[in-house]
Amino acid sequence: MQVQLLSNGLEVVVDAQTFSEATLHKCFYWYTRDYQVTIQPGINHQTQVRLVAKEHVAVDVTALQHQVHNDLLDFRLRELIAEETRPIRELLVAKAFAHYAPPQPLTAPISDPVGFHPLAPAP
Amino acid sequence: MQPTLERATRKFKDLAVYAPAGSYTLLPFRFHVLTPEKELLVSEVGDYLLVPRGTVARVVGRQLTYAEEPDLYADLLAGFFITDSPELPLLDVLATRYRTKKAFLEHFTALHIFVVTLRCEHTCHYCQVSRVTADKNAFNMARHHLDQGIAHMMRSPNPHVTMEFQGGEALLAFEVIQYGVEEAERLAVRHDKQITFVICTNLAVLTDEILLYCQQHNILLSTSLDGPAFIHNANRHRPKRNSYELTIQGIARAREVVGYDRVSALMTTSTLSLEHPLAIVDEYVAQGFANVFLRPISPYGFALRHDRKNKYATDAFLTFYKTALAHILDYNFRGHFLREDYATIILRKILTPFSVGYVDLQSPAGLVNSVVVFNYDGAVYASDEARMLAEMGDVTFKLGHLDTHAYEELFYGPKAREIAGAWANEALAGCSECAFQPYCGADPVLHHATQGDMYGHRPTSVFCQKNMEIIRYLFELMDADPRIEAIFRSWVADFT
């Protein structure tokens, strides 16, 4: 990660193979209150992020640099957890609300040689 | 050669037999950096674990071993943050717990608010809706609208509904309330409904006849008490400046007739209130209440669409809230049980496995799902705040009208579906990654009112700023002092 301090903000260049586009957007979304945020994908998987303070914001660029560094790592961790646990989470929610699923009527003809299904064609 | 048979024994096996295998799988969880030293892990069902900063990175990087950190490993297993079994044998348990947390959805709309009149003899400066008029019938709910509203309430799938009468000053239309209560009681038998009746009133026009009726029909009374006289009377204007005196007299009379615990009070935090958190808490104690609900002023009007102004207002409210909460905790330290209601709602989500269907702090949001408002003029709104917005000329959250819309059109119609796009914090930017998601909610009305967009922008949201800091602060308090955690647990002990 390359960092360039600006008088009223920061410019960071990160490896897009490590920090996905989604991670960057989720991380820097929280900076949009105080900063004008620009995320610019570049060549060789390098993505440039530029934070420029809005008029009312007093900037401590050193503190900002530390915060950006920590937040990027935290949001990368969040993405790893979300990716790894996505199937379990989907299964969990599906099982939790399975009871609510309305009964699905059969739409295709099926073989019913014993005659369990009253609407099935006679064997 | 005979195989060697292992002899069955009832002796305890060595602890090593139960030691987890070397690898583990992550289960869904989120985390929040609580302080520079601590981070908070919150599972999908709201279980939490407070750990030193950097623990999540070690857990995700598979640097954690049972041999080296058995306690932390066991806590992570017990809290459903990791599992060391590839079959996920407790997935059904976890799914049941998730479903339990969302149980407020099971029966759909419970709270049905009937605005029986807009007339009021108070002119509170923070009220957006009331009208002062000599015409007794102006701004009263018509009987056919009341009938339609009750019919819709009876159609709710919820077997336990609340019929809440609001104003204006609801008691100025007491004959409308009487008709509504008796009609609802009659129909409840046919529809097998349990109904809780509530009248929201400032108690200024209370009579013995009204109290007797409330006692006979088991009606709860909910009033406003903003603090001691100098705050209450300043906030709640009335001819003769005697609102406080009438409220205190009314509370005493109502407790005597209706029942001590059947009268509750709410406060609204005005700018003046912000300077007197201790006096407000002391007033609630002096009046014999065991709870205080520290409510910020609704940002409809003075703060509308002014982010910076909202932010300062929220900061000031948070300072007020923390000071008042500390004072409430002091009472508890001295053996006087007193709880703060907003913290209690959040603590129920944190410390119990149960569902908490508080309209302003649930996901999916309480609009339509838990509450609906039938206005005096027959208009139907998605929440009380939605009708306040409508009184300011913004009908974005109007579901329809009792004269023209059927139940399905109101509760499942295009407006309800539009709101549904922004009512689940699981699917909102900023909230989807937030560790406090299971404890928080979504508020499309507030975001529409303050940001012009019901989806909302979390970094500048007063809702987000307030709730994130209060939730974070509650964890910080519990971590700092075990006595506070014990007090907080006593606040939720009666909740099942």
**Global ipTM:** 0.87
Give B57→chain A minimum CA distance, Å: 7
CA distance B149 to B180: 9
Give B268→chain A minimum CA distance, Å: 28
Quick one: angle between helices B462-480 and B444-451, nearest 10? 120
Q: Which residue of B has its CA nearest to A71?
A: B33
Q: Are strands B111-115 and B82-83 parallel, antiparallel or unpaired?
A: unpaired
Of B57, B457, B459, the CB nearest to A77: B57
Give B91→chain A minimum CA distance, Å: 7
Task: Considering only CA atoms, give the Rg of chain B.
Answer: 26
Predicted confidence at residue B153, as pLDDT, reads: 98
Of A74, A78, A92, the CB nearest to B94: A92
Predicted confidence at residue B306, as pLDDT, reads: 43
CA distance B78 to A3: 41
Interface A–B counts its CB contacts (< 8 A) at 69
Q: Within 13 Å and on the Cβ side, how many CA atoms surround B48?
A: 26
- Cβ neighbors of B2 (< 8 A, separation 6 or more) are none
Burial label for B39, CB within 10 Å (0-12, 13-18, 19+), is buried
| CB within 8 Å: A81 and B60 | yes
**Ordered structural domains, chain A, with CATH:** 2-99 (3.30.1360)
Fold for domain B108-283+356-414?
A: TIM Barrel (3.20.20)
What is the full per-residue pLDDT of chain A (123 aa) written as tens digits? Answer: 888 988 899 999 999 999 999 999 999 999 999 999 999 999 999 999 999 999 888 999 999 999 999 999 999 999 999 999 999 999 999 999 987 655 566 566 556 666 666 555 555
List every span in chain B annotated with CATH 3.20.20.70. 108-283+356-414
Predicted confidence at residue B1, as pLDDT, reads: 55
Using the structure block, give the residue that is written with the tokens 């071993």: B65
- Residue from A31, A35, A81 whose CB has the most chain B CBs within 10 Å, to mutate: A81
**Residue B495, Ramachandran bin (φ over 0: left; ψ between -120 and 50: alpha; else beta):** beta
B43 and B27 in contact (C-beta within 8 Å)?
yes
Within an 8 Å CB–CB cutoff, is residue B56 touching chain A?
A: yes
What is the full per-residue pLDDT of chain B (496 aa) written as tens digits? Answer: 556 666 777 888 777 777 666 689 999 999 999 999 999 999 999 999 999 999 999 999 999 999 899 999 999 999 999 998 877 878 899 999 999 999 999 889 999 999 999 888 777 776 766 666 656 677 899 999 999 999 999 999 999 999 999 988 999 999 999 999 999 999 999 999 999 999 999 999 999 999 999 999 999 999 999 999 999 999 888 888 889 999 999 999 999 999 999 999 999 888 889 999 999 999 999 999 999 999 888 776 544 444 444 445 889 999 999 999 999 999 999 999 999 999 999 999 999 999 887 888 999 999 999 999 999 999 999 999 999 899 888 999 999 999 999 999 999 999 999 999 999 999 999 999 999 999 999 999 999 998 999 999 999 999 999 999 999 999 999 999 999 999 999 999 987 6
- DSSP-based three-state secondary structure for B288: coil
- Cβ neighbors of B142 (< 8 A, separation 6 or more) are B378
B50 and B480 in contact (C-beta within 8 Å)?
no
Instruction: Please give the distance of CA B382 from its chain centroid, rounded to a whole number.
Output: 16
Predicted confidence at residue B14, as pLDDT, reads: 79
Using the structure block, give the residue that is written with the tokens 């209060």: B470
Q: DSSP letters along B420-486, please?
A: HTTS-GGGSTTTTT-TTGGG----HHHHHHHHS-SS--GGG-HHHHHHHHHHHHHHHHHHH-HHHHH
The token pair that represents B193 in the structure block: 């409904």
- DSSP-based three-state secondary structure for B371: strand
Using the structure block, give the residue that is written with the tokens 């009046």: B287
Q: Are strands B379-381 and B398-401 parallel, antiparallel or unpaired?
A: antiparallel
Q: Which residue of B has its CA nearest to A35?
A: B459
Predicted confidence at residue B281, as pLDDT, reads: 98
CA distance B135 to B169: 14
Sheet holding B29-33, edge to edge: B29-33, B38-43, B48-52
Q: What is the 3-state secondary structure (H, E, C) of chain A?
A: CEEEEECCEEEEEEECCCCCHHHHHHHHHCCCCCEEEEEEECCCCEEEEEEEECCCCCCCHHHHHHHHHHHHHHHHHHHHHHHHHHHHHHHHHHHHCHHHCCCCCCCCCCCCCCCCCCCCCCC
B330 and B342 in contact (C-beta within 8 Å)?
no
CA distance B190 to B53: 59
The token pair that represents B277 in the structure block: 């958190």
- Cβ neighbors of B188 (< 8 A, separation 6 or more) are B154, B194, B195
The token pair that represents B15 in the structure block: 């602890």
Predicted confidence at residue A101, as pLDDT, reads: 57
* Peptide bond before residue B168 is cis, with ω within 30 degrees of 0: yes
Predicted confidence at residue B10, as pLDDT, reads: 80
Q: Which residue of B has its CA nearest to A92?
A: B95
CA distance A6 to B209: 73
Predicted confidence at residue A107, as pLDDT, reads: 62
Q: DSSP letters along B191-211, please?
A: HT-EEEEEEE--STT--HHHH
Burial A58-96 (b: 16+ CB within 10 A, else e): ebebeebeeebeebbebbbbbbbbbeebeebbeebbebb
The token pair that represents B39 in the structure block: 């981070």
Which neighbouring-strand residues pair with A11? A4, A50
